[in-house]
Structure 1
């Protein structure tokens, strides 16, 4: 309790870095795993099952767990930070901010898909089904539509199930923190009890309803965010202990994730004890990363600039790459798979650069206004994102905010049972 009270009084450390580059680097590695897990749309997969690196091509669920855990941790830390500094949580503002950050790319993608459907003669998907898919995506009920109507849902947009689950659980956590943010013990107990129930429920669903249903239910995919939220709430009690062992804990957690990546893919094991271990390893990595007292060789490797750049662009990469893969394949049926892959990656890179310039940067400027943060407004912090500012708790859905090391960017699950098996 003393540790928690001391952290409340101290607030964010003035010397805290504005961005944790190792988490950006892990984000970059994770988005590479997502792209590889969707690569079956571009290249042949025959023979991959018998290779030692097959885990690299089916690690989407591990990647999605990492981002759920990191997102849940930083979301909850940010919300608790607001409660500590202002005495209350502006739930409506918190929800709108995160909805805006996710929707900027998603809504742009839906608009492009509708335009392409009108102009592209090779886009033969039913127009009525496309309208249904578009409505369910923009209302963030897409994962439920995929589960209940897989034959009507547009397959090249199936990866967007992730943003739906993320926003649904985000709203839930915002409400819970609003109610119990000042009663940390009760909040901790609630999250721990819910995690036990969700873990048991996941196993039951995969046994009774099958893998496809388990992969798309909100209640079976929310465990990662709950684990991250639990770590954020528990941090005042565990920070000093973890800090002493952080330098050793981080590589051990990373090695565990690598081992699980090579052994756990798109199958029922993800909803058994292997999935629990993935969550625990991801939590251990995140907690070690945010408490590490000094840089290490591992943090230097994870901060390699290409990884960090990919991590910063991971939201745009995630949203745009999958439908582009499908569109390129549709137009290049007679091409060799290497040529098709190069073209698809080049087009994805072009769309990502344009989206970052025309979507992410204007949104960042708009959300940097003091109206969105009472602490920033009270401190009269300049609105320019490049201006020095008092360190704030990060917003986990902002891919460009310098205080934010994560965003929801991974979604390895495809849209039909056959696609799940391929992934």
Structure 2
């Protein structure tokens, strides 16, 4: 049989083995009163198990291996953390194992107790040749309640992981939520392809400097375009030359070092998503909004949150340009609904959740969930792939959870850690 210990964990946890006349390899009767709680950290695999062996009820830990000899391979025989193991559960008992004091540990062999159908379902999931997700041929058999409950858990898991990154950034920014939010928001303006140069630009010109020039839009624009590295060339147009002049003064005043404009990517982007246009929009937002994160904490209505980013007016120069010194047909450069939703989804909802968890104010975490449920589902190949299998997203809350499912469970065939995979195995 081809499987890992994870499969045996699943079998043990859900008691999916033949429990008739259970005996140790030494012939003593076994009654599993409780399999224990699975341990995801170091130490024995299941803790606080209760097992009756012969006439004695034991309370302690259970260790699981494919082969009993793995006990020695993992050096458990010299590790006192395993002295409280009361039962060694193995697929094949090819060795006798002992605690550090030399006392033999009872063993239960499962080789002939695992149903062939269960193994077949497991093998089909983990070792099958699915094109999209391992359970694509059987997910239709899983009830909607199981799927929806798992989606909720996955979205919370996704937010918790991403909130951990915010906690680290917050520490680097000495607990300054406004500065941390400003940096994340800037990265979001760059989408994935220009997220890093946008983030580096924001870190190079902190909000405290921008705040000193909040009443001078040209200087705000000069600081951002200059630190992005776009004002090092010679220009023909009046607007970039004014920016350059302002930046040279501000650069000397604050001892600034411009970034590298070649770090920014233009290829394969629609002109409306060129980094120059996104920088112009970001500058317009900075000019219009002071202490933006504080405002977000005070706003409870989704439409009011959208209004914070809607109708942002960029400098009129960009109405007829996508790059400096390159005139183009007039096109509105205000942020579209999709871009605004992207910011609400990837920055605002995330920060509301992180702030709620960091400060112990659950109302902000709840507001984050409500915001995600109010936003439309994303459109991408993963969301469409699940929709084709009958799992359709009604909101960004659900589409985000499906991204977590595909990228961190399905792609790694973690079916045994997935509620959907568990359901399929236990059908």
- State the TM-score, normalizing by the size of structure 2: 0.24
Larger radius of gyration: 2
- The higher relative CO (CA closer than 8 Å, separation ≥ 6) is in 1
TM-score for the superposition, normalised by structure 1 = 0.24
Higher percent of residues as strand: 2
